[in-house]
Amino acid sequence: MSVQLSSSAQASVLEDLAWSSSDICRFILSLHKARYNDSEWCLPGGKVNQPPMKADSYLMGFNRFTGVEHPAHEPWIYCKFTVRTSIPALLVFSLHRSLY
């Protein structure tokens, strides 16, 4: 399964977080039910008249150097994504430092 980032997620990963693609994958693989935030509808960019997609969001402290959850590590990271089984791909709409 591939991981695809929206243009805004890609910008924050490169400019703000300075994460590599392996950092992103390790973060996503570290997510669990206790870090679930909520479900939302997202309008994917790109194609006109594309229907909204269901997406889940998570908040978690994460140490990218060890690749594991680290609750004391702040700020926590906010990630909103959906899984497209037809492609197959994980589409990341948002990935940035938490604003909370």
Domains: count for the chain: 1
The reported pLDDT for the residue numbered 46 is 66
Print the domain residue range for 42: 2-97
The reported pLDDT for the residue numbered 95 is 95
In angstroms, rounded to a whole number, what is the distance separating the alpha carbons of residues 24 and 55?
A: 17
Query: pLDDT tens-digit profile of 17-64?
Result: 999 999 999 999 999 999 999 999 988 776 677 888 999 999 999 999
What does the chain come to in residues? 100
In angstroms, rounded to a whole number, what is the distance separating the alpha carbons of residues 50 and 62?
A: 33
pLDDT for residue 73 is more than 70: yes
CATH number (domain holding residue 84): 3.30.2310
The reported pLDDT for the residue numbered 44 is 76
The reported pLDDT for the residue numbered 79 is 96
